[in-house]
Structure 1
């Protein structure tokens, strides 16, 4: 069970806005994705303001928070073209998304699973595309979408788990298509995405973890001070920003203490998010009983 502890940063001494309140969990994943916030997204969303305009998520990844929120008006973005191709296809052509997955699944089941997976991965690395990336995310080890620094190629091996059949995946596509019917998706740098938010909107930022995710997909090249500048600019024009960032690991043994600009954030909530799948991958699949991860949810309001 995820636990929340609220801590007042004392930035301005102002009263916090009324909270969004309880949200029902939504656990059905579309993409397998290490680091996805979907399992505890309902707790993150509970700390959003009760009333806001549009919802913006500039580090979209697997879209777990947006799917739980199911915004009436939302904007999801990222800088990785194959990923945005998946989201745009889900939104505009869900039957095509189903066909992408089904054709690769049938080949995967009919042949040597590892050989077929490696062939799909090689094709993807030669010409990155959403169709191959969709299947690789579902079939790779633990959803750890990892890339080599040397050439940018995806390097994650095939997972030992069975890939879900097309019929089950199709049901997920229909469910996600319905939940995200109010969302639009674009290929954008996070600064461009945040700049389009208007007063009264909410931005949720889930950037790559500076201490652990430099080799994972989603590691957009940015410096944390630049992200803080973008948050400050959004706050100055009346946009509310929530930021997930490194917290404690190894049952609190290591605290990723990142310096925060004075006055930028009003509140801090600590979320216990369970054990690190990335660390388990790095340790050859061992159960990491002590590798607990905590996230800091920082609120500008």
Structure 2
């Protein structure tokens, strides 16, 4: 632990938090790259005590939901996504109805045509009500956009979308687990600037080696994020960063240019076989595509 963090805990009193968190498998949103299966391992590397928890690349909130924080700030730059998270707190019954209304189209049109209708509606006017159904219905939660115009082009998945009754139960569960969270539509810099000494920021940005087709990835700047992490570290904020690790069952170490001395620890988290790679390979065998993520810690 660096001197800044040691000095902080000698002068400030924070409520102790558990080092380990129980696995939490009930996803609200399907999302490629979701860290919910790995959240227990990731959380085990969090500091024993910290103030407010920040997650500035929220996505489907796998780590957030598993952590179940007392006080947190979660944010993203994707307006339809933040619309879903905001509804979870402000009007969860409307969130349930968004999903139910679109799911009912399946009985009338069939799954693929219902999906196409909702996808066309979303592409005409991006919104959270359509997106919540799309995320639970599209192939593997791959939120893929055409680079030239932002058109969402992910096909319908082979699975049957979750029944509305079960989704409603998930909404109730997630509403309870995130009751200490404030949700914001903003860039990661704006969110991280709010973090104070002794707070914890967990970053799970688009990966530079593999996720160029995913939402927000084309405009994401890793160098800008690393600069902001350095600023946080200098003022005594803990930062944990998930980023490209190894591919091809450990045979390839992804090249990520990280400034020397910025991080104090590096660990690798096993994430299994890549759903994004399966999508890109049209469902072919992924026996040689075991992947690990790199977890970099400033403390």
TM-score when scaled to structure 1?
0.93
Whether 1:98 and 2:96 are equivalent positions in the alignment is: yes
Tell me the SS of whatever aligns to 1:39.
coil
2:17, 2:50 within 8 Å by CA — same for their partners in 1?
no
- Structure 1 CA distance, aligned partners of 2:191 and 2:219? 15
1:144, 1:216 within 8 Å by CA — same for their partners in 2?
yes
Give the counterpart of 1:234 among 226, 232, 238: 232
- Structure 1 CA distance, aligned partners of 2:107 and 2:259? 52
Go from structure 1 to structure 2 and tell me whether the alpha carbon gap of 1:223 and 1:11 turns closer, same or farther (over 3 Å shift). Answer: farther
Whether 1:265 and 2:271 are equivalent positions in the alignment is: no
- Structure 2 CA distance, aligned partners of 1:238 and 1:41? 24
- Structure 2 CA distance, aligned partners of 1:20 and 1:255? 32
- Structure 2 CA distance, aligned partners of 1:245 and 1:178? 29
1:211, 1:246 within 8 Å by CA — same for their partners in 2?
yes
1:11, 1:264 within 8 Å by CA — same for their partners in 2?
no
- Structure 2 CA distance, aligned partners of 1:184 and 1:32? 21
Aligned to 1:36: 34
Structure 1 gaps of 5+ residues are 1-9
Go from structure 1 to structure 2 and tell me whether the alpha carbon gap of 1:248 and 1:11 turns closer, same or farther (over 3 Å shift). Answer: farther
Go from structure 1 to structure 2 and tell me whether the alpha carbon gap of 1:273 and 1:154 turns closer, same or farther (over 3 Å shift). Answer: same
Cα RMSD for the two superposed structures: 1.8
Go from structure 1 to structure 2 and tell me whether the alpha carbon gap of 1:242 and 1:271 turns closer, same or farther (over 3 Å shift). Answer: same
Give the counterpart of 2:81 among 77, 80, 83: 83
Tell me the SS of whatever aligns to 1:234.
helix
- Structure 2 CA distance, aligned partners of 1:90 and 1:218? 22
How far does the alpha carbon of each residue in 1:243-264 deviate from its partner, in whole angstroms, 9 at most, with x for none?
0000000111211131221211
Tell me the SS of whatever aligns to 1:110.
helix
- Structure 1 CA distance, aligned partners of 2:218 and 2:2? 29
Structure 2 gaps of 5+ residues are 10-15
Aligned to 1:62: 60
Aligned to 2:185: 187
Tell me the SS of whatever aligns to 1:169.
helix
Q: CA deviation at 1:150?
A: 1.6
Aligned to 1:118: 116
How far does the alpha carbon of each residue in 1:101-160 deviate from its partner, in whole angstroms, 9 at most, with x for none?
000001123212211211110110110000000000000011111111121011001111
Segments of 4+ moved more than 3 angstroms: 17-20
Structure 1, 21-30 or 212-221: larger mean CA deviation: 212-221
Report the number of matched residues.
290
How far does the alpha carbon of each residue in 1:256-285 deviate from its partner, in whole angstroms, 9 at most, with x for none?
131221211000111111001011111111
Whether 1:47 and 2:61 are equivalent positions in the alignment is: no
Aligned to 1:162: 160
- Structure 2 CA distance, aligned partners of 1:121 and 1:262? 44
